Amino acid sequence: MRPPLKGYCYPLTPSGTSSLVGPPPWHYATEYLNLLFRADPDKVAPFLPEPLEPGPDPGLGYVAFSQWWSLWQDRPDLAATHPERTQYREAAVWVGCSYRGRPGQICLFIWVDNDFSLARGWFMGFPKRLGAIEFSEYHPLNSLMPPLESGTVLRGAALAHGERLMEGTLTLRDRISPQELPFPLARPLFHIRHFPSIEAGAPPSVLELVELGAENVRFGEEVWRGEGTLRLFPSDLEEHTALGKLEVLEGYHYHSGYTFPGGKVLHRWS
Amino acid sequence: MRPPLKGYCYPLTPSGTSSLVGPPPWHYATEYLNLLFRADPDKVAPFLPEPLEPGPDPGLGYVAFSQWWSLWQDRPDLAATHPERTQYREAAVWVGCSYRGRPGQICLFIWVDNDFSLARGWFMGFPKRLGAIEFSEYHPLNSLMPPLESGTVLRGAALAHGERLMEGTLTLRDRISPQELPFPLARPLFHIRHFPSIEAGAPPSVLELVELGAENVRFGEEVWRGEGTLRLFPSDLEEHTALGKLEVLEGYHYHSGYTFPGGKVLHRWS
Amino acid sequence: MRPPLKGYCYPLTPSGTSSLVGPPPWHYATEYLNLLFRADPDKVAPFLPEPLEPGPDPGLGYVAFSQWWSLWQDRPDLAATHPERTQYREAAVWVGCSYRGRPGQICLFIWVDNDFSLARGWFMGFPKRLGAIEFSEYHPLNSLMPPLESGTVLRGAALAHGERLMEGTLTLRDRISPQELPFPLARPLFHIRHFPSIEAGAPPSVLELVELGAENVRFGEEVWRGEGTLRLFPSDLEEHTALGKLEVLEGYHYHSGYTFPGGKVLHRWS
Amino acid sequence: MRPPLKGYCYPLTPSGTSSLVGPPPWHYATEYLNLLFRADPDKVAPFLPEPLEPGPDPGLGYVAFSQWWSLWQDRPDLAATHPERTQYREAAVWVGCSYRGRPGQICLFIWVDNDFSLARGWFMGFPKRLGAIEFSEYHPLNSLMPPLESGTVLRGAALAHGERLMEGTLTLRDRISPQELPFPLARPLFHIRHFPSIEAGAPPSVLELVELGAENVRFGEEVWRGEGTLRLFPSDLEEHTALGKLEVLEGYHYHSGYTFPGGKVLHRWS
C-alpha cells in the first residue's frame, strides 16, 4: 500500500521535507512600531463573534507595523543557509477582546511581504495578505541620522495590490518598562481559524476559535513611548476602515521575542 | 447575539466583502507552455497515496509554464477596477494518475506570483508557493521579433526564494487540434486538499482527495507542438527534483479557458 | 598598453559583452492606453526651456500607460533566451512642444518596472524612475471577460516608492485610423538628456536637447477611441501634479511598433 | 526667456525639487559581509585601463554583500518621511588597483535593489544593475538564533534577471581592529564614470576616471574576521565570472559609515 504523503503543510510529499513552513515550535523576534487607538466600541463589536466578547476597554486596539526574524524548530540554521526564509515585515490592525472573562486581542487585518509568513499566519488565524511594508530605520554610523531619542520620528506604512492602505508615525518621548505596555498589546491571542470547503455552497471545512500560545516572552531593554499619528486610506477591496474614526492615544517602539508552541481550539463553529 | 463573521476566506468580517478571493464560480483564461515528460514510474508512484492510482501510462507528466487571466463570479469588472487582481503567472509540475479507473492528473509542485492565486490554489489542493515566472512573448509589431511559426522558440522559467528552480524551452514545429493534446494534459484534476491543525502534534484539520470541476472548456485556434527541453535545478528547500531524470517527449503552446464551478470530495484521510 | 574598456553602457569590461543595454538600433512594440488632456499653458511652458517652444496647441498633453516588448539589434533572440529582458510596463506624462516651428512632444515624468528600460530611457532623455504599473487585460477565452468593444473599460495605474501616483480609465467607444491620433501623440520626440558631474557644485556633464529618431513606425489594426478619466495623486517626492488641473479630452487604446536608430543633438546647454 | 530646468538629476523641472537623488553630500551607514579573494592578476589587469594600474598585490579583490542606510544632505528627515528611500542592499565585486602609485580599489560588478541607489551609483561610476540581495540577520531576542560569536555563519547572495549570480558565506572566528582590514578594503575609490552618446556610433558623452571622496569615515566597534566561501554562477548576460578562479582568503563582517562630499576627475578618455 502506498503510504500517505507527509509534510506540515503544502507541498505534501513522500518525505515531507519541503513544506513551505516547518512545524511548531516557531521562534520569533520582532521590532514593533505600535499605535494605540480608541475606536467606537459599536464598530468593533461586530468583529467579535460569540463566544468572543468585547475587551475590558471596548474600542481599544492598535495598528502594528513590524519587522520579524523567525525560525521553525527543525531548521535552526535557516538564517545561515536561506536568510530570505527568515525575514519579513508586517502591518496589522488589532483590537482588544475577551474570552470567558480573560482579556486578549485579535488581529482583524494584516499584510505581510513573504509567503512562508502568509501561510503560517493562516494556520494561526491571521488573515494575512501580501503587501509591502515601510519601516523607518536609523543607523548610528550615518552621521546625518539621529539616534533613537526623544523627538526622533519613526514611520510605518502598508501597501497592497497597488494601493497605499495605512501609515502611521511615532514621535519618541520617553521610556517605559514592558509591563507598562497597555491592553491589548502583549495580551493573549484569540484567533479565528478558517479554511473554505471546495464544494460549492458548503460551510467552511475549518471555522474555529483558538488561543495561540506564547512561551519565553522576552523584551528588549528599551521600550519607547510617544505621540502617534495614524491614517487609513480606503480601498474598495478592503474593509480596514470599517472601524471608523480611530483616536490615536499613544505609540510604542520596542523589540520582543517569543516561542510559539502551538495553539488550542476553544470553540468550533463548524 | 453577535452573528458569525462572513467571507469566502480571510479576512472574515461582518459583511464579508473583502475576502482575498471571492467564491466560485471562477473564470479563467490561460496561455500554456507545456513540456511533456516521462519519469520513472517508481519515482512517481510514491506521490500518489491510495485511493489514487498511477495513470494509464505511469511516469507521464508535464511541466507547465503559464500566464493567467482570471475573475471570480461576483466581481466581473475586476479587470477594469483592479487589473492587478486578475493577472498572474505560474510554473507547475504535473503527473498523470487515476481514480477508480478514471485517468486524471495531479499537480505536485507549483509556484505563482500573486497572493490571491496562491490562496485560491490552496483551497483547490494546489501546493502553491510564491515565485517569479518568466515567459517568452512575441509581439507582431516588433520588427525584430519572429511571429509564432515553425522554428520560433519559447522559454519559461521559475524562480523562488532567490533560487532558479526550473526552466524549459519549446521550439514550435506544427499545429495540432486540442483533442490531440496527450494524457495527462487537459484531463480531470484529482487533488489533495490540506490544512494543518494548530494544535501541536495533531493530525491535519483537512486532508481530503477532491475532484476539481471544469465547465465550458475552450481552446484557442492555434495549438502548437514542437521539441521541448527541460532543466530542473536542485534546492535544499525543494523536492521538485524528486521525480529523477525527466525524458522530455514533446512540448505544446496554446491558449485555453474554463470555468471552475467547485469541487467534490472523493475521500477523506482525516 | 592596456586598452580601454568596452561596452555600450555599464558595466564596461574588456569585451564589453554584458552591458545592461545593447547599442541601438532598438526595436519596440507597444500597447498604449493614452489619455489626452488639456492643461493650463502657463503651467506647461516653464517645462520647456529655450530653444524648446510651446506646441501648436499649448497645454495639450497626455498620460500614457503602456506595455512594451523590446529588443536591441545585437541580441535578436533575447525573447527566447532571457524573456524578462524584453518585457516591461511604463506610465508617463507627455506634453506637446515645438522646436524651430516643428511640432513634437516631450516626456516630463515617467515610471518603468525594469532596469534595462530605466537605463535606456536615461540615455534618451526619459527621466525614468522605478515603479509598478497596472494595465487592464482582457482574454477572449475568459468567459466572464468582455471583448474589446464599445463600452469596455481599460484602466492604468502607476505606483512608486509605496505611493499611488496616477490612475486613468478609458471607456472604448469607436475606432479611428492611426492618422487621426491627435497632437501630440505619435509626434517627434524632443528630449533633454542629462548626466550630473560628480564634482561638487559643477554644472552637468551632459545637458543637451536631442531629437529621437523613429523608423518603420507601424500601427495595429484597431485604434480605439473613447472617454477617459484621469486622477493624479500628490506626493512630496514628486512634481507630476505641477501641471495643475488636467481636463481630460479623450482616450485611445492601440498597439504600435517602431525602430529607434539613434538620436541627434540639437542644442547643448553645457 | 524661459529659464533652464533645475534638478540634481532627472526629472529636471522648473523647481528641481523631485530629483530621484538629491545632490551631495551623501551620508551612508553600511553593514558589510566581505569576502577577500585572490584572482589571477592577468585576469584582473584587463579591467584596469591606463592610467589605472594594478594594485600593490595584483589579483587581490573582494566580494561585498552589504546593507545600506543613506541620506542626501538636503533631506535629512527622509528616514522619517519616506523610509523606503533610505534603505537598500547591494552585492559587488571589487578589485585592487592604483593610480600614480596610490593604492585604491575599483568596483567591477554590482547589483542593488533600489532605483535611487542605482542612479546615484552611475553618477559615481558604479556599474549598478537591479537585483535582489540576501543577507543573514540574527536578532538577539530570537531564542533559536545564535549571537554573533565565533562559529556563527553569515550568508550573502545576489540575484538578477531571474538568475542566481553569486553567494558567499563567512564563519566568524575572531575580532580585529578596523585598521587591520586588508587592502583593498576601505581604500580610496578610483572609478570610471560613463554615459553614452545618443548619436549612433558616437563616442561616449562621458568617460572619465574619477577619485571618489570619503569624509568622516567611522567603524562600528566589532569587526569580525573568519573563514569565507564564495561561489559565482555563470550567466550569458554577465561577465562577473571573467576573473576566473577566486581563491578565498578571509572574510569580514563589520559596520561603517562615511560622508561622500563629491569626487574629482583625474583623467578623461573622451
Taken in order of first residue, the domains within chain B and their CATH numbers are 26-268 (2.40.400.10)
Region D137-150: mean pLDDT is: 97
Who's near B246: CB < 8 A, 6+ residues apart? Answer: B37, B38, B39, B61, B63, B230, B232
**Cα diameter, chain A:** 68
Testing the interface with B: which of D113, D161, D163, D166 to mutate, by most B Cβ within 10 A?
Answer: D163
- Identify which of B27, B212, B194, B21 has the alpha carbon closest to the alpha carbon of residue B120: B21
Tell me if the pTM is above 0.95. yes
User: In Å, how far is A206's CA from the nearest CA of chain D?
Assistant: 31
pLDDT over threshold 90, residue D55: yes
How confident is the model at residue A1, as a pLDDT? 62
How confident is the model at residue D202, as a pLDDT? 96
Taking an 8 Å cut-off on Cβ atoms, the answer to whether A134 and C159 are in contact is: no
Grid cell at residue B163:
533560487
Q: Which of C28, C82, C84 lies closest to B142 in CB terms?
A: C28
Region D40-64: mean pLDDT is: 97
- Identify which of D126, D176, D168 has the alpha carbon closest to the alpha carbon of residue D150: D176
End-to-end CA distance of chain A: 33
Grid cell at residue C146:
468582455
A1-5, A213-217, B112-116, C236-240, range with the lowest pLDDT: A1-5
Measured between CB atoms, does B270 come within 8 Å of chain A? Answer: no
Who's near B100: CB < 8 A, 6+ residues apart? Answer: B51
Please give the full DSSP string across B128-182, using - where no structure is assigned: EEE-EEEE----TT-TTSPPS-TT-EEEEEEEETTEEEEEEEEEEEEEE-GGGPP
- Identify which of C102, C209, C211 has the alpha carbon closest to the alpha carbon of residue D12: C209
β-pairing verdict for D102-112 and D128-130: parallel
Partners of A269 on chain B (C-beta within 8 Å) are 4
How confident is the model at residue C2, as a pLDDT? 72
Task: State pLDDT tens for residues A123-170.
Answer: 999 999 999 999 999 999 999 999 999 999 999 999 999 999 999 999
Taking an 8 Å cut-off on Cβ atoms, the answer to whether C262 and D198 are in contact is: yes
Peptide bond into C25 cis (omega under 30): yes
pLDDT over threshold 90, residue D14: yes
Q: Which of D128, D198, D262 lies closest to C263 in CB terms?
A: D198
Sign of CA dihedral A22, A27, A29, A35: positive
Chains in contact with chain D (at least 3 beta-carbon pairs closer than 8 A): A, B, C
Q: Which of D79, D137, D257 lies closest to A69 in CB terms?
A: D137
pLDDT over threshold 70, residue D101: yes
Partners of D137 on chain A (C-beta within 8 Å) are 69, 79, 83, 86-87
Task: State pLDDT tens for residues C66-122.
Answer: 999 999 999 999 999 999 999 999 999 999 999 999 999 999 999 999 999 999 999
Task: State pLDDT tens for residues D230-261.
Answer: 999 999 999 999 999 999 999 999 999 999 99
**ipTM attached to this prediction:** 0.97
- Identify which of A99, A85, A21 has the alpha carbon closest to the alpha carbon of residue A264: A99
Residue A172 vs residues C233, D69, D81, D217: alpha-carbon distances, Å: 30, 20, 15, 28
Taking an 8 Å cut-off on Cβ atoms, the answer to whether D237 and C47 are in contact is: no
Q: Three-class SS of residue A85?
A: helix
How confident is the model at residue A4, as a pLDDT? 84
pLDDT over threshold 80, residue D267: yes
Who's near C88: CB < 8 A, 6+ residues apart? Answer: C67, C68, C70, C112, C113, C114, C116, C117
Grid cell at residue C32:
498604449
Testing the interface with B: which of A120, A198, A210, A241 to mutate, by most B Cβ within 10 A?
Answer: A198
Who's near C179: CB < 8 A, 6+ residues apart? Answer: none
* A161: closest chain C residue by CA: C134
Measured between CB atoms, does C62 come within 8 Å of chain D? Answer: no
Four-point Cα dihedral B44, B48, B52, B54, nearest 10: 10
User: In Å, how far is C206's CA from the nearest CA of chain B?
Assistant: 31
Q: Which of A141, A144, A255 lies closest to D256 in CB terms?
A: A141
CB atoms within 10 A of CB A266: 15
- Identify which of A28, A1, A22 has the alpha carbon closest to the alpha carbon of residue A10: A22
Q: Which residues of chain B have pLDDT under 70?
A: 1, 270
Region D146-161: mean pLDDT is: 97
Average pLDDT, chain D: 97
How confident is the model at residue A18, as a pLDDT? 97
Q: Which of C20, C194, C201 lies closest to D129 in CB terms?
A: C20
Grid cell at residue D107:
568596483
Measured between CB atoms, does A194 come within 8 Å of chain B? Answer: yes
Taking an 8 Å cut-off on Cβ atoms, the answer to whether B162 and D159 are in contact is: yes
CB D246 within 8 A of CB D38: yes
- Identify which of D102, D97, D5, D32 has the alpha carbon closest to the alpha carbon of residue D59: D97
Among A residues 141-160, those touching chain B with beta carbons less than 8 Å apart: none
Question: What's A1's DSSP letter?
Answer: -
Partners of C142 on chain B (C-beta within 8 Å) are 27-29, 69-71, 257
**Dist. CA D240–CA D91, nearest whole Å:** 12
How confident is the model at residue A16, as a pLDDT? 96
Q: Which of D8, D12, D206 lies closest to C192 in CB terms?
A: D12
Number of cross-chain residue pairs from A and D with Cβ atoms under 8 Å apart: 118
Measured between CB atoms, does A14 come within 8 Å of chain B? Answer: yes
Region A253-265: mean pLDDT is: 98
**Dist. CA A191–CA A48, nearest whole Å:** 10
User: In Å, how far is A145's CA from the nearest CA of chain B?
Assistant: 31
How confident is the model at residue C1, as a pLDDT? 62
Residue B120 vs residues A201, B209, C137: alpha-carbon distances, Å: 16, 16, 20
Taking an 8 Å cut-off on Cβ atoms, the answer to whether D134 and A256 are in contact is: no
Average pLDDT, chain B: 97
Number of cross-chain residue pairs from C and D with Cβ atoms under 8 Å apart: 179
User: In Å, how far is A153's CA from the nearest CA of chain D?
Assistant: 6
Region D19-27: mean pLDDT is: 98
Partners of D2 on chain C (C-beta within 8 Å) are 45-46, 48-50, 52
How confident is the model at residue A162, as a pLDDT? 96
Displacement of CA C261 from its chain's centroid (Å)? 16
Who's near B28: CB < 8 A, 6+ residues apart? Answer: B68, B69, B70, B257, B258, B259, B260, C142
Testing the interface with C: which of B144, B148, B153, B259 to mutate, by most C Cβ within 10 A?
Answer: B144
How confident is the model at residue D1, as a pLDDT? 62
Task: State pLDDT tens for residues D164-180.
Answer: 999 999 999 999 999 99
Average pLDDT, chain A: 97
CB B18 within 8 A of CB A111: no
How confident is the model at residue B228, as a pLDDT? 98
Region A70-87: mean pLDDT is: 97
Question: What's D37's DSSP letter?
Answer: E
Number of Cα atoms under 13 Å in the Cβ half of residue B213 = 16
pLDDT over threshold 70, residue D59: yes
β-pairing verdict for B128-130 and B102-112: parallel
Peptide bond into B103 cis (omega under 30): no
* C81: closest chain D residue by CA: D236
CB B204 within 8 A of CB B157: no
pLDDT over threshold 70, residue A53: yes
How confident is the model at residue C218, as a pLDDT? 97
Q: Which residues of chain C have pLDDT under 50?
A: none
How confident is the model at residue B1, as a pLDDT? 62
